[in-house]
Structure 1
Amino acid sequence: MLNKIVLTGAAGKLGGLLRAPLAALCRELVTTDLAPGLANLLPNETYVAADLSQLDQVMGVMEGADMVVHFGAIGDEAPWDAILQSNIVGAYTVWEAAYRQGVRRVVYASSIHAVGMHPKTDFIDTTARHRPDTYYGLSKCFAEDLASLYWDKRGIESVCMRIYSCEESVNNARALGTWLSHPDLIRLVTAAITTPTTGFSIVWGVSANDRVPVDNARASFLGYRPQDNAEVHAPRVLAQAAAMDPQNPEDMCHGGPFAVVPLGESGVAMIKARSVKA
């Protein structure tokens, strides 16, 4: 059991899912976000409000930590200045504070959007070159390269989890390949923490879907073995799905809707607006 784990982004949807599983892996869990507080703190959990763009605040949160699970960031496309402060400067402060405080490993919520402009017909592995689809995806490229640099020059281990579509269920045809179930997210993060050594690693955050468009073989040493499969939802989803357009990057690229959203504009808002019109 680890002595202390820090979880950033604890007030977010995915961060909230991880609080209890992480608390079971350590004696002390420190959670942080911009929110003034969290409800229903666990017996070994302490919450500290912190701005990840401020190194001095992050330094205090990291003191005495063994590992950091970094989910704190804007989780959508946004204007450049917002992405710069939250996702890029915030990544730097996390890795720099981890180095200064002697943290062993950073487990990072990266994204498919770091490689979102690759065609889905390319069955890519974890060595595929960066090909971001948005400023948001570009920030994930930066953080992955930062993780690589801090491993090579400062010995901080990292596991960069390129998360796809992490939802409770499967609601569209794209997700038949890209779905990451909530239980599999917990399995993935747990594997990233409990694996004895990782160096600098990249792993796809997907479930065991029949239609998965990426290859996780190079990350098998992490011991992540997903158990859920989106195919059980295929009859319902495909019966409702519109035909895909082979000339449309949204249908043909790994990044899906983010492959066509204008730079700086919310991809999530675009998806919601379409749902309302439908």
Structure 2
Amino acid sequence: MMKKLVLTGAAGRLGSYLREPLSKMCQELVSTDIVDDIGKLYEGESYAKADVAVYDQIAPLLEGADMVVHFGAIVDEKPFEELLGPNFVGSYNVWEAAYQHGLQRVVYASSIHAVGMHKKSDFIGIDAPHKPDTFYGLAKCFSEDLASMYWDKRGLEAVCLRILSCAQVNNTRALGSWLSYDDLIQLVTRAIDTPSVGFSVVYGVSNNDRAPVDNAKASFLGYRPKDNAEQFAEKILAEAPPVDLKDPGQMHHGGPFAAVDLGESGVASMNIVNDKKTT
């Protein structure tokens, strides 16, 4: 069991599902976000309000930690100036603080939007070149390259989880892109407990029949998703409107993010259900 883990973005929807399993992997879990309170804490968990965009707020929390699980960011497309602090500078602050405090590894919530302008018909692997669909996706590219550089130059390991869509399945894209919460937990657990990872990328997607990405070159992480969105296919396809072959959102990996103008919300049209876990 590790001595200490730090989770950023603990107040978010995905963070809410990670807190309990992470608390069982270490003696001390420090959860952090920008809200005043995250409610009842799990055994061994403490909460610290901090802004990842401010180095002096986030860095002290990493002292004595083994690893940091970095999920803290704005999780939508916004004007570049709004994303600059949380999504760009925030990543630098986490990696630099992790290096300064001698952490072994950063586990990072990257996104399919780092490669979102690849065509969905291209069965892309983890070595697909960056092709961001938004400023949000650009921040993921920046953070992945930051992770690669800190491994090459400073020996700080990282696993970048290119999450596709971790939300309830309510559209045709999600039949391929779905990542269940149970598989999310398995993915993060493997990113933590694999003995050596160097710099690694893995797609965060469940074992969907229609998965549009290839994790073969990340198989050493031991991530073997169990859930399959095909269970929802009959209902979703029966209710789906006809495919528009001229819609970039339907033809590219980034979905709606591939279709919006830069700076405009990609989440607005996605009808994401906020089924955040409550303790």
TM bin (shorter chain) = over 0.9
| Residue 136 of structure 2 is aligned to residue 136 of structure 1 | yes
Question: Match of 1:256, as an amino acid?
Answer: G
- CA drift of 1:43 comes to 1.9
Q: Which runs of 5+ in 2 are unaligned?
A: 273-279
CA shift for structure 1 position 271: 3.6
Deviation, 1:20, is: 0.1
- Aligned-residue sequence identity (percent) comes to 62
Give the equivalent residue in structure 2 for 1:215: 214
3-state SS, counterpart of residue 107 of structure 1? strand
The alpha-carbon deviation at position 53 of structure 1 amounts to 1.0
Structure 1: give runs of 5+ residues left out of the alignment. Answer: 274-278
Shift in CA distance, 142/119, structure 1 to aligned 2, threshold 3 Å: same
1:68 corresponds to: 68
- Whichever residue aligns with residue 27 of structure 2, its letter is R
Residue aligning to 2:149: 149
Larger CA deviation: 242-251 vs 130-139? 242-251
Matches within 5 A, 1:89-108: 89-108=89-108
C-alpha distance in 1 between matches for 2:226 and 2:59: 37
More displaced 10-residue stretch of structure 1: 35-44 or 116-125: 35-44
1:35 CA drift (Å) = 0.6
- 1:115-194 alignment to 2 at 5 Å? 115-167=115-167, 169-194=168-193
Amino acid at match of 1:250: G
- Once the 2 structures are TM-superposed, how far is the Cα of residue 56 of structure 1 from its aligned partner? 1.3
The corresponding residue for 2:276 is none
CA distance in 2, matches of 1:247, 1:123: 20
RMSD of the alignment, in Å? Answer: 1.0
Q: What is the CA distance between 1:272 and its match in structure 2?
A: 4.7
- Tell me by how many angstroms 1:121 deviates: 0.6
**d(CA) in 2 for partners of 1:24, 1:195:** 16
| Cα 1:146/1:71, change in 2 over 3 Å | same
TM-score normalised by L of structure 2: 0.96
> What's the offset of the Cα at 1:171?
0.7
Q: Which residue in 1 is equivalent to 2:79?
A: 79
SS at match of 1:36: coil
Aligned equivalent of 1:232 = 231
Partner-residue secondary structure (3-state), 2:22: helix
* C-alpha distance 143-269 of structure 1, shift in aligned 2 (>3 A): same
TM-score by length of 1: 0.96
**Where has structure 1 moved over 3 Å in runs of 4 or more?**
270-273
Query: 1:269, CA displacement in angstroms?
Result: 2.0
- Tell me whether 1:27 sits opposite 2:27 in the alignment: yes
TM-superposed CA distance for 1:247, in Å, is 2.0
In structure 2, what is the equivalent of residue 200 of structure 1? 199
Amino acid at match of 2:126: T
How far apart are residue 270 of structure 1 and its match?
3.6
Q: Which amino acid aligns with 2:105?
A: R
User: C-alpha separation between the residues in 1 aligned to 2:43 and 2:112?
Assistant: 35
Aligned-partner residue type, residue 101 of structure 1:
H
The CA deviation string for residues 37-88 of structure 1, in whole angstroms up to 9 with x for no partner, is 2201112001110111111111111000000000000000011111111100
Q: Name 2:46's counterpart in structure 1.
A: 46
Match of 1:276 in 2: none
